Structure 1
Amino acid sequence: MNSQALVDILLVIQIIITLLISVQAFYHYVKTKGDILFSVGLSMSVIALGGITGLLEDTLLANSTFNSLWFRYIGQTISYLFILLISLRGSEAYIQRLKWWHIGGTILLLALLVFTPLIPVNSDPTILALLSGSRSAVCFAILLNYTAIFMNKRTRFSLLMGLAFLFITFGIWVYTMEFFLPHLLYLDYVGDGIRILGLVILLAALFLG
């Protein structure tokens, strides 16, 4: 098995898990009308779409001038940002505004995906590192928030969410180090593996509550 095949396998696993999280979140949202679940579902849908786009880029579009990294990184950053903002639990009006801003932001992300063929294939590695690292920064903020919630309420959900974003944060950070240490190819696999563990815990949080 070559390195690209391993990357694609890890990507497929991430796609499956994020789709499962999205379906589970929207299922509970329909039952409870909890807007946190809506944001989780919409965010994971965008992240899953980014994964699917990346997989298509690696396979069917391998020889094309298609660079999906901008959509994937920005999409994850914005998606995680709304999970953070919605988890701050403001007033009902605040939550409703965030929900509509999230929908609007998602529409803009889809527009970015449409214009992806216009993005240069060989983007500056420093810019890509910053875009990738921004995902980790937002996830770290989510980790701190759910840690505070757990310290205050001691709920199983907050514990699992904190653990999930601990692994997601660290996984993305390890992956991002590949831009600075390109000779260490295993950072890609290790980072994706750690992130998958975090996503599995996030899925468990939605099932176990």
Structure 2
Amino acid sequence: MGKYEEAKQQVTTLCHNLVEKGYLMGTGGNVSVRIRGEHAFAITPSNYDYTIMTPADVCILRYNLTVLEGERKPSIESALHAAIYENRLDTNCVIHTHQLYASAFGLTKTPIPALYDEQARFLGKSVEIINYAPSGTGFLKHNVVIRLKNHCNAYILQNHGALCLGPDPDRTMFNVQLLEKCAVTYLLAICTEKKISRIPLPFREVAFAMLRKDQKKFENANEH
């Protein structure tokens, strides 16, 4: 087995699962996994059908985007993923999708407040909107890096899609699904035109403190 085979397989498995659940469609979105102990990551190739993707199609890049392995062109958002790994040491997996309900809030620039305990515990205090910038540009990377300072694990890209982070592939996949649950239920609640309740502030802060405690463990692990 090659040096990066495990990371390549993780990316491939994530993509197949995301397609099966309807979060990745066509060639939209991108997925990456941090390579532990190196300034490198595994990421999906550009403009490639996820349903037929294999580990051999996955690209391995350094944070400066030097290619270590892979014959295909890396995702157009590779620089964005690299910036996330450099700025969020708690993050070991990044999933960018065009999932429908979360993306809808990107059209109205409407953040999703803390509606559920598990949302605050795993996604953060709220799901914020990242201002629009064209895909694959330094402008988008800049806008994302600014938002990363709130230590949340889910964001909505204006007129684009969703961005979820996590400490490992399984948790990041969970975060994608949790974000869509929050988006669907919040949208339905808005449609009733009734007052929408949120979890009380003290409980939100306790749940978020638990998230930060977990994140710091991974931050420390990735610093060494």
Q: TM-score range by the shorter chain?
A: 0.3 to 0.5
Give the number of the structure whose residues are more often strand, by fraction: 2
Give the number of the structure whose residues are more often helix, by fraction: 1
TM-score (normalizing by structure 2): 0.31
TM-score (normalizing by structure 1): 0.32
